[in-house]
Amino acid sequence: MKHILVLIDFGDPTEHVAKYAADLALAFHSNCWLLHVAAPDPEFVGYETGPQYIRDHRAGELKKEHLALETLQNQFRQQNIPCEILLIPGNPIEVIQAEINKREIDLVVMGHHQRPALQEWIVGSIGKEVIRETSVPLFIIPVQSTT
């Protein structure tokens, strides 16, 4: 297991998921990629970009997400774990599958929110889609949802 993809959603469990991923990477001498799939750009989903303040807000969100990924990356590197960050806008399942194939990933580490059934039915779950669609082993950390 030389290539680990860590799915980061910046929810409450991010530090917990990162710790498990780091422990696995140390145990197996693996390389890690920290992946956060950002919301797609407005033009991509068929909307006009809108006024400048909308573009500025979007740029600010991406900058914050990138800085948060860099902070996590530094935590991995302090433990001598080779780690790269990926901040890619788009459809989460499509991006995850593409990165698994592109980087020859051996294991995906992710948190999975445990939500009430009604909320799950209404909102859906990226985690469940990843479980259904991913062809590599998954290390799933159950996380109690606070929402």
Indicate whether 98 belongs to any domain: no
Cα–chain center distance at 55: 23
Indicate whether 139 belongs to any domain: no
On whether the pTM is more than 0.85, the answer is no
Which residue positions in the chain have pLDDT lower than 50?
A: 44-45, 118-119, 121-123, 147
pLDDT tens-place string over residues 91-132? 899 999 999 999 999 999 998 766 555 445 444 567 778 878
| % of the chain at pLDDT higher than 70 | 80
48: containing domain: 9-91
Which domain CATH number covers 86?
3.40.50.620
* Measured distance CA(32)–CA(21) in Å, rounded: 8
Indicate whether 96 belongs to any domain: no
pLDDT of residue 45: 46
* Measured distance CA(143)–CA(147) in Å, rounded: 12
Indicate whether 110 belongs to any domain: no
Token pair of 64 as six digits: 């914050």
Number of structural domains in the chain: 1
Contact yes or no for 141/112 (Cβ under 8 A): yes
pLDDT of residue 18: 94
